[in-house]
Amino acid sequence: MITLNASRRYQIGSSLIELMISSLIGLMVLGIIGSIFISIQQTAKEKSLELNLLQGLNITLAVMKEDIQRAGYDGGHGMSLKLSGASETITVSGASSIGFVYFRDDSPLNKNYRNIK
């Protein structure tokens, strides 16, 4: 009995119970970190899809605005836009080229018309 008590006094290391408890705590921490990571990843994916949709809508609205302006709407100024030198809003003069004009609003002080041929 004396030798058994003496050997326990000088024991170095950890027991199997301590190892199992530390493994359980480590697995719990990994599980929590993993679930947080997955949640953040899912939120980032949703925000990315939302941003992609908003960008697509902005591009679509910009194209629609430019097409409406090219069709002759000048933003409520009371005149329809015409090509330089044209007597009508729509002029057909050959099938080899196309031209249009639209109102371009770069800044409130610099409003101009842009001709494209």
Report if residue 46 sits inside a domain: yes
DSSP state of 63: H
Report if residue 40 sits inside a domain: yes
What is the domain range of residue 96?
A: 15-116
Question: pLDDT tens, 8-44?
Answer: 666 677 788 999 999 999 999 999 999 999 999 999 9
Which residues are 101's β-sheet partners?
115
pLDDT at 63 (0 to 100): 85
Residue 90 has pLDDT above 70, yes or no: no
Report if residue 8 sits inside a domain: no
In sequence order, the 6+-apart residues with CB closer than 8 A to the CB of 104 are: 111, 112, 113, 114
Report if residue 97 sits inside a domain: yes
Report if residue 89 sits inside a domain: yes
Question: pLDDT tens, 105-116?
Answer: 555 555 555 554
Q: What is this structure's pTM?
A: 0.46
Q: Which of 100, 97, 95, 94 is nearest to 114 (CA)?
A: 100
Number of domains observed in the structure of the chain: 1
Count of other CB atoms within 10 angstroms of residue 70 = 15
